[in-house]
Structure 1
């Protein structure tokens, strides 16, 4: 996952037209990298599962959905469902990149 993160960081850097290794200089100390596996069970009629509306404070988030789905993104004030696609990983570019 670390190698994948570094590769995506480089690709994002290039796609944004930034100077070479611009993003790397802000994340060169890999000691702060972390990985968390979160699993949310499907909601039922009596309880909701998952997490509330939030922003990811890190750089890159990998989301692997099952066929139940539930992931949404906010765009222009509207919540848009991210339809699960088999064998795919959603890559979310988070707040640190925006800053």
Structure 2
């Protein structure tokens, strides 16, 4: 696959590309898709949320998103989903 720096469909950092190339070098098959943290593409019909967040937390979120090769939105969705699943598992374990 060719990745062109001005292609807006792909927003990879150098670190992400390094991880992908290393994985490919070791024989891993890389599947890329466009979508959110749930595996589906976000649509304009999805609700939008506007909220305030402390600057320090936003910086951490951006760092984590970059490290995980995700957009800020995808990182928030991924972490919210993890939190919900963890809460559900805790409830099941307590029952």
TM-score by length of structure 1 reads: 0.26
The structure with the largest alpha-carbon Rg is 2
Question: Relative contact order (C-alpha < 8 Å, sep 6+): which is higher?
Answer: 2
Structure with more helix by fraction: 2
